[in-house]
Amino acid sequence: MAKVKAAKGMNVEVLGDKELQRRFKALEGVGQADILEAVLHAVAEPIRDAASSRAPRRTGKLAENIIVETLEKRKDECVVGIGPSKDVWYGIFPELGTSHSAAKPYLRPSFDERKGQAKQEIGERLWDEIERAAKK
């Protein structure tokens, strides 16, 4: 149902309980993917902010260009990525390290620190959106 990815190889897949999935499927035609995208972006922002505050600050450009973007969006599925924008393509080097420098992760710790809270918040926000859509 929902996936949040942060850097290469890190992701959380939120499937939700059967009741949440059933009610979410009942929203077909009401813009499931749009609802899911809005929820994922809102939940990903604190992770992005934490990664930005941990990012190396040689020039500050990397920290300023950590973004949340929609990577994939289908009828009832959305994948959101958190990481450096294309303008700071070098952002993966401090995260993973190179043959010449040790890794100084900023994305992974931010993601790991908040993933449990993010999963819970995704479920809560989806319930709120489902209830709001049901009242219409």
20-54 pLDDT tens trace: 677 667 666 667 788 889 999 999 999 999 999 99
Q: What is the dihedral of CA 66, 70, 72, 73, to 10 degrees?
A: 170
Q: Measured between alpha carbons, how far is 65 from 50 in angstroms, rounded to an integer?
A: 13
| Exposure class string for 95-104: b at 16+ Cβ within 10 A, else e | beeeeeeeee
Alpha helices in 3-98, H assignment, sequence order: 18-25, 32-54, 61-64, 92-96
φ, ψ of residue 70 in degrees (nearest 5): -80, 120
More confident of the two residues 106 and 119: 106
* Position 122 pLDDT exceeds 60: yes
